[in-house]
Amino acid sequence: MYIPPHFSETRPAELARLIAQHPLGALVTQRPHGLDAEHLPFVFDAHAGACGRLTAHVARANPLWQECAPGTPALVIFRAAEGYVSPGWYPSKHEAHRQVPTWNYEVVHAHGRLTIRDDERFVRALVGRLTKRHEAAQPQPWKMADSAPEFIDELLGAIVGIEIEVSALVGKRKLGQNKAPRDRLGAAEALAAQGNAALAQAMRAAGLSSTSS
């Protein structure tokens, strides 16, 4: 991934935050038929190993777990806030007409090696973590104990765990840091007015962090 210095994000806590808030990752691997991708909700443990550990599960019917040998190189892409930016949103465009359309976004690439965990205890613990995290905001959070044990056992038997030891996290936040403050904020205001509050807030925050750094 090409990353100009002003778009680079290297802070471990910020990279972990982006993954936690946008856990659906695109897992890219080399398979016998060529490159392939799976879209999976991941749990990221930032304190495991040198750069963290990602865990997820796939359906037992998915050939990934049989086609990927232990240690298979893997790339997981986490896409956060993103959106189109019109040049008309920059105040300077109306003065000098030297702006063009672009696309702003935040993304994290996690590089590592894949291990298959066809282990009922591992899968049960993983599903418990995923459920606890994503049900936390519900008025009455669902938990596995809500269902009959034999039903849960059957479903757990139909999935296989995967684990990725992360060797590098690469972050890019293209949020108008190369623009004048009034142009960046003008675009953020337009995005907010169109309902893209996440990208608007990220662009405002990027300006604050560059000012304080």
The packing angle between helices 197-212 and 181-193, to 10°, is: 160
Q: How far is CA 182 from CA 89, 104, 176, 213, in A?
A: 10, 16, 11, 19
Q: What is the pLDDT of residues 128-160, one digit of tens each?
A: 999 999 999 999 999 999 999 999 999 999 999
d(CA 171, CA 164): 18
- Model pTM score: 0.92
Are residues 62 and 38 in contact, defined by beta-carbon separation less than 8 angstroms? Answer: yes
Q: What is the pLDDT of residues 87-127, one digit of tens each?
A: 999 998 788 778 899 999 999 999 999 999 999 999 999 99
Q: Could you tell me which residues come within 8 angstroms of residue 132 by beta carbon, excluding any fewer than 6 positions away?
A: 141, 143
Q: Strand, coil or helix: what is 196? A: coil
